[in-house]
């Protein structure tokens, strides 16, 4: 439906239903639903925390972030201090709106009105890290200018507008009319005038990552709540739908996104929230979730879920992701084959997140059983995502444990890019043993290529890929890999990638990496990696790097033990070094990793390097 819908269809559907009773976000309009989730023992901890936070906010009124906290991002690159204070300021909206939906209490009403008023008083709803998206030198050249850059719509301003519009829609009869008027006034000024009155594309409209989904879906959902004129609304939503088509183009034909499972959820969930509101507004005439590509996109995170809470986490994705059970259950209405994640992968309702938490609780049914891959009865679940050049293979053993292998190619200017072509993960016993370091701390510097790829999280030296004659992989779309061959057979997956163009190395003529993931029935899987390299002269150095999340132990020459995984190589060809990596990372509780570096001792113009990983 998303790809095929025409403007006439959209306009007609909106006009035909304009004078019908509007009941948007139908689940949230039901007092029975709110009573159910308030009494559900599974959510008791959440509601107790909510009550404690409400009491704290009433006793300790929060202040707006200071100007010096706002400009800290421009001065030092730090974005955490402002965003923490901002979260405190916005917490009241989520807390008091949730409580007010379950109980007609004057204290909750007053707390919500004060929280909304505080947010409407903010100078801008845009994060400092996103200010100046139009400026050519962003994020460097705006902080010393005499006049602040013109307003934009970013992720947080869009989400703020969506949250306010939805809250006011549901509670408008109980809120002071000045508060309702203020919300409409501020949304019109900060969102609608900025986005719809200026035909110049927003920075994110031209992208295919999570931004166009979150921003445009939030704007579209806000318009559905706020705009009653169907003709005007049709024109607004048509621009939104055009951006969502662009978002869909970032998924390959098998449904994979190079941003990984965490950003899959962030972007795709907002698309679903908007699609369901549009379906309700048009009384079912426009249903974007019937698009033929939705099924493949919805299945993608199921391939990424491993065991022990771990996921395939290439790019800026954490290695543990919890999924919104309400979102998955809503998608099951359109994709019946979709499985609910087991408990360790389920998102718990959290304070400070109205949009996700309400849908987690209101869209969930306790009658549906969770089922992970290990419980599904399949021995192997795997896919080669040829468009984005990912391969994922999961094998269930006799103990119902999961071993898995994943590798990636693509190009080195992907959304939330790491220079990681040819990189791979091995998962055993609930651990990503051969691992990806995941995202670094989000600072101004982290999003500037000159700094980013010197950091070990994003640079190729922090991934399990070769360093070729002293050269790391380069940044940009011109640095890419090609899949030369790929095959899935009864006993293995065989994949060959050409990594030559990943390196700006003058002496390099050819570099291919061959993966053979052997997973025969009744035998333990193993991975064979073979790198073939050709130079135009004898190189000065050649290194193979492997990243481990557990302490590597050299049990004897040519054998390195990493818990359940043993790396076997020819000790006569390589000199071993093991380095400790202590990450400064926002998403990991255990920040110690290990870098296995093998230095080739016998350098030649043409070399073959072979490594066996026994599980």
Q: Return the CATH number at 355.
A: 1.50.10.100
CB 338 within 8 A of CB 331: yes
Q: Are residues 531 and 488 in the same domain?
A: yes
The pLDDT value given to residue 372: 63
- 284 lies in some domain: yes
Q: Are residues 447 and 502 in the same domain?
A: yes
- In the chain, the number of structural domains is 2
Q: Are residues 51 and 84 in the same domain?
A: yes
Q: Are residues 401 and 470 in the same domain?
A: yes
Q: What number is the average pLDDT over the span 407-428?
A: 97
**Per-position DSSP letters for 363-387, written without gaps between them:** S--TTSPP--GGGSS-SEEEEEETT
Q: Are residues 371 and 386 in the same domain?
A: no
Q: Are residues 472 and 570 in the same domain?
A: yes
Q: What interhelical angle do 80-102 and 31-39 show, nearest 10?
A: 110
pLDDT, tens digit (0-9, with 9 covering 90-100), for 230-248: 999 999 999 999 999 999 9
Q: Is the pLDDT of residue 414 over 60?
A: yes
How would you classify the pairing of strands 402-408 and 390-396?
antiparallel
- 2 lies in some domain: no
Of 488, 407, 435, 428, the closest CA to residue 306 belongs to 428
199 vs 188: CA distance, rounded Å: 16
Residues of the chain with pLDDT > 70, as a percent, come to: 96
Which of 375, 409, 432 is the last residue before a domain boundary?
Answer: 375
pTM for the predicted model, two decimal places: 0.95
Residue spans of beta strands (DSSP E) within 469-540: 476-480, 482-488, 492-498, 508-518, 526-535
Contacts of 532 (CB under 8 A, 6+ apart): 510, 511, 512, 514, 607, 608
Q: Is the pLDDT of residue 419 over 60?
A: yes
Q: Which residue has the tokens 């409580």?
A: 99
> Quick one: pLDDT band at residue 445, thresholds 50, 70, 90?
confident
Higher pLDDT, 200 or 373: 200
98 vs 353: CA distance, rounded Å: 10
Which of 204-213, 294-303, 364-373, 512-521 has the least mean pLDDT? 364-373
Contacts of 587 (CB under 8 A, 6+ apart): 318, 319, 320, 438, 439
Q: Is the pLDDT of residue 588 over 60?
A: no
The pLDDT value given to residue 147: 87
**Per-position DSSP letters for 227-263, written without gaps between them:** ---HHHHHHHHHHHHHHHHHHHHTS-TTS--TTHHHH
**Exposed (0-12), middle (13-18) or buried (19+): which is 184, by Cβ within 10 Å?**
middle
- 512 lies in some domain: yes
CB 406 within 8 A of CB 424: yes
Contacts of 477 (CB under 8 A, 6+ apart): 411, 412, 413
Length of the chain in terms of residues written: 615
Average pLDDT, the chain: 92
Q: Is the pLDDT of residue 370 over 90?
A: no
237 vs 288: CA distance, rounded Å: 13
Q: Are residues 361 and 426 in the same domain?
A: no
Q: Are residues 261 and 403 in the same domain?
A: no
- 289 lies in some domain: yes
Which of 195-204, 246-255, 397-406, 599-608 has the least mean pLDDT? 397-406
Which of 323, 354, 375 is the last residue before a domain boundary?
Answer: 375
- Paired tokens of 323: 């999924």
Q: Are residues 301 and 321 in the same domain?
A: yes
Q: Return the CATH number at 574.
A: 2.70.98.70
How would you classify the pairing of strands 467-468 and 476-480?
unpaired
Higher pLDDT, 30 or 397: 30
pLDDT, tens digit (0-9, with 9 covering 90-100), for 39-76: 999 899 999 999 999 999 999 888 899 999 999 998 89
150 vs 219: CA distance, rounded Å: 18
Q: Are residues 138 and 159 in the same domain?
A: yes
Of 17, 20, 26, 15, the closest CA to residue 358 belongs to 26
> Quick one: pLDDT band at residue 4, thresholds 50, 70, 90?
confident
> Quick one: pLDDT band at residue 144, thresholds 50, 70, 90?
confident
pLDDT, tens digit (0-9, with 9 covering 90-100), for 500-513: 999 999 999 999 99
> Quick one: pLDDT band at residue 366, thresholds 50, 70, 90?
low
Q: Are residues 219 and 368 in the same domain?
A: yes
Q: Which residues of 490-529 are buried (b: 16+ CB within 10 A; e: fewer)?
A: eebbbbbbbbbbbbebebbeebbbbbbbbbeeeeebbbbb
The pLDDT value given to residue 603: 97
Which domain covers residue 395, as residue numbers? Answer: 380-614
- 1 lies in some domain: no
Which of 341, 356, 375 is the last residue before a domain boundary?
Answer: 375
Q: Are residues 424 and 483 in the same domain?
A: yes
Q: Is the pLDDT of residue 139 over 70?
A: no
- 320 lies in some domain: yes
> Quick one: pLDDT band at residue 177, thresholds 50, 70, 90?
very high
CB 325 within 8 A of CB 360: yes
Q: Report the 10 Å Cβ neighbour count for 535.
A: 21
């Amino acid at each position: 439906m998303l790809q095929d819908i025409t403007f006439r269809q959209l306009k007609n559907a909106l006009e035909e239903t304009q004078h019908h009773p509007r009941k948007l976000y139908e689940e949230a309009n039901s007092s029975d639903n709110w009573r159910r989730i308030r009494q559900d023992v599974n959510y008791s901890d959440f509601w107790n925390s909510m009550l404690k936070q409400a009491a704290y906010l009433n006793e300790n009124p929060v202040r707006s972030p200071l100007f010096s906290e706002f400009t800290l991002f421009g001065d030092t690159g730090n974005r955490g201090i402002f965003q923490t204070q901002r979260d405190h300021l916005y917490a009241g909206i989520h807390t008091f709106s949730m409580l007010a939906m379950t109980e007609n209490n004057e204290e909750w009403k007053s707390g919500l009105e004060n929280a909304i008023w505080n947010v409407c008083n903010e100078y801008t709803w845009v994060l400092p890290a996103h200010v100046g998206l139009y400026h050519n030198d962003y994020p460097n050249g705006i902080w010393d200018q005499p006049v602040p850059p013109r307003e934009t719509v970013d992720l947080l301003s869009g989400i703020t507008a969506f949250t306010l519009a939805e809250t006011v829609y549901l509670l408008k009869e109980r809120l002071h009319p000045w508060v309702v008027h203020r919300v409409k006034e501020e949304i019109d000024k900060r969102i609608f005038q900025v986005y719809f009155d200026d035909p110049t594309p927003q920075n994110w409209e031209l992208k295919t990552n999570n931004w166009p989904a979150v921003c445009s879906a939030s704007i579209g959902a806000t318009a559905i709540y706020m705009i009653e004129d169907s003709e005007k609304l049709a024109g607004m939503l048509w621009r939104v739908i055009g951006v969502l088509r662009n978002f869909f183009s970032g998924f390959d034909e098998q449904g994979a996104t190079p941003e990984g499972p965490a950003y899959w959820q962030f972007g795709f969930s907002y698309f679903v929230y908007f699609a369901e509101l549009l379906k309700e507004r048009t009384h079912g005439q426009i249903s974007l979730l019937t698009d033929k590509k939705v099924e493949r996109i919805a299945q993608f995170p199921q391939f990424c879920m491993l065991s022990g809470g771990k996921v395939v986490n290439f790019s800026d994705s954490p290695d543990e992701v919890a999924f919104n059970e309400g979102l998955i259950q809503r998608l099951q209405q359109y994709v019946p084959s979709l499985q609910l994640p087991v408990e360790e992968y389920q998102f718990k309702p959290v304070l400070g997140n109205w949009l996700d938490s309400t849908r987690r609780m209101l869209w969930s049914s306790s009658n549906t059983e969770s089922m992970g891959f290990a419980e599904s009865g399949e021995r192997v679940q795997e896919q080669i995502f040829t468009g984005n050049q990912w391969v994922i293979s999961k094998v269930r053993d006799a103990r119902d444990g999961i071993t898995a292998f994943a590798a990636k190619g693509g190009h080195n200017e992907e959304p939330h890019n790491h220079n990681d072509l040819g990189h791979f993960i091995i998962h055993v016993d609930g651990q990503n043993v051969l691992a990806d370091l995941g995202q670094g701390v989000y600072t101004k510097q982290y999003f500037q290529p000159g700094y980013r790829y010197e950091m070990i999280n994003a640079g190729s030296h922090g991934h399990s890929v070769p360093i070729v004659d002293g050269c790391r992989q380069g940044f940009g779309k011109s640095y890419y890999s090609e899949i030369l061959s790929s095959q899935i057979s009864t006993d293995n997956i065989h994949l060959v990638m050409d990594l030559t163009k990943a390196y700006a190395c003058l002496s390099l003529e050819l570099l291919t990496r061959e993966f053979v993931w052997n997973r025969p029935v009744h035998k333990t899987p193993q991975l064979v990696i073979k790198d073939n390299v050709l130079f135009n002269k004898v190189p000065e150095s050649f290194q193979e790097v492997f990243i481990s999340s557990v302490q590597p132990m050299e049990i004897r020459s040519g054998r390195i033990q990493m818990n359940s995984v043993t790396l076997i190589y020819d000790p006569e060809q390589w000199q071993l070094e093991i380095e400790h990596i202590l990450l400064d990372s926002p998403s990991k509780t255990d920040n110690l990793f290990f870098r296995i570096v093998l230095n080739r001792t016998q350098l030649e113009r043409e070399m073959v390097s072979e490594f066996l990983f026994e599980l």
